[in-house]
């Protein structure tokens, strides 16, 4: 998580660890009425994690601790995740 862009990391932790919804997270992060953006950033955070785990050699199909992960929803490469972050950081759509 330390290599993940800060905003993605905060959103990921607030939703996946703390159990908050996108609306609550948008209020906490002072981005009101941006639930869709929060959900999009969460997907990017999950894609970033998946790409890094895959790059580290964690198997998608083996008997490992990630067996229950829905990898089909996280089919973004590390370079694609980096590109998405670059666009977000530059406020591009």
Q: What is the pLDDT of residues 13-65, one digit of tens each?
A: 999 889 999 999 999 999 878 899 999 999 999 888 888 877 777 655 554 54
Q: What is the mean pLDDT of residues 66-74?
A: 52
Helices (H), 1-93: 6-12, 22-28, 35-55, 78-89
Q: Alpha-carbon distance 78 to 21, whole Å?
A: 26
Indicate if the pLDDT at residue 93 is higher than 50.
Answer: no
Question: What does pTM read for this prediction?
Answer: 0.62
> Where residue 75 falls among pLDDT bands split at 50, 70, 90?
very low
Instruction: Supply the pLDDT for residue 85.
Output: 52
């Amino acid at each position: 998580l330390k290599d993940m862009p800060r905003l993605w990391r905060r959103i990921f932790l607030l939703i996946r660890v703390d159990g908050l919804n996108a609306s609550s997270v948008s209020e906490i992060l002072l981005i009101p009425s941006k639930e869709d953006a929060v959900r999009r950033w969460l997907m990017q955070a999950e894609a970033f994690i998946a790409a890094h785990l895959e790059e580290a050699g964690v198997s998608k199909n083996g008997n490992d601790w990630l067996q229950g992960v829905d990898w089909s929803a996280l089919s973004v490469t590390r370079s694609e995740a980096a590109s998405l972050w670059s666009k977000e950081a530059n406020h591009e759509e």
